[in-house]
Amino acid sequence: MSLTLIIGNKNYSSWSLRPWLAMKVAGLAFDEKVIPLYEPGSREQVLKYSPAGKVPVLLDGDAAIWESLAILEYLAEKSPKAGLWPADPLARSHARVVANEMHGGFLPLRRNCPMNLWLPVKRRPVSDDAMDDVRRIDALWSDCRARFGQKADIGGPFLVGAIGAADAMYAQVVERLNSFGIQVSAASRAYMDAMMALPAWNEWRAAALKEPWVMQGNEPDWPLVRGL
């Protein structure tokens, strides 16, 4: 298959990070095309690839697949050896549960703490409903680690052992909690550290920091000097 992933700005596009990270950790070869979002003409460019007008979009030859979770499912079906979902049925169903909980939820956290890799981010109070989301995510991650972390046949420091689609779905939450300095339990922090130690994570981050686009209200907490 000849895959191209259409993504938004790496600094801001939390949905784009999901399939991008999954494809990198799964070792799937792909080309990428970055469309800077919320610029004049951005929407028209995205609409060339997806009628929904949103990124990410995966192109497989002439076919276009949009919606991050559908892209992950497509990749898992096309490349079963990539191990994006665990082989064990119970671990697999739990990975799908937590991925779906992320896909449809946590709106207050997503609104209140936008993804932004320029550190430190602008200080702002984190709302009570966003903190409710943080508590639920912290419990969900800790529960995953307690259920699957010790299983010798599954193994690995990620949500259901080895890295996969569930982790890809939460990658942007890891980034948000880290950049906003939000405290979580030791188990969740260890999970975040494992995610942020991935070479793919650092590849995305390094590319994000080189991007020239600055979204209003999401400037870093220091004067941004262009060209550095």
Site for ligand GSH in 90-119 (CB under 6 A): none
Instruction: For ligand GSH, give the closer residue by CB, 23 or 194.
Output: 23
Tell me: does residue 67 bind ligand GSH (CB under 6 A): yes
Q: How many chain residues are in contact with ligand GSH, going by CB under 6 A?
A: 13
Tell me: does residue 54 bind ligand GSH (CB under 6 A): yes
Residue span 2-41 as binding mask against ligand GSH, x where in contact by CB under 6 A, dash where not: ------x----xxxx--------------------x----
Residue 55: phi and psi, rounded to 5, are -105, 155
Give me the sheet containing 3-7, strands edge to edge. Answer: 31-34, 3-7, 57-60, 63-66
Report the C-alpha gap between 142 and 187 in whole angstroms. Answer: 6
Q: How far is the CB of 89 from ligand GSH (least distance, A)?
A: 25
Instruction: For ligand GSH, give the closer residue by CB, 3 or 37.
Output: 37
Q: What is the distance of C-alpha 72 from the center of its chain?
A: 11
Instruction: For ligand GSH, give the closer residue by CB, 185 or 218.
Output: 218
Tell me: does residue 175 bind ligand GSH (CB under 6 A): no
Instruction: For ligand GSH, give the closer residue by CB, 8 or 149.
Output: 8
Query: Where do contacts with ligand GSH occur on this chain (CB under 6 A)?
Result: 8, 13-16, 37, 43, 53-56, 67-68
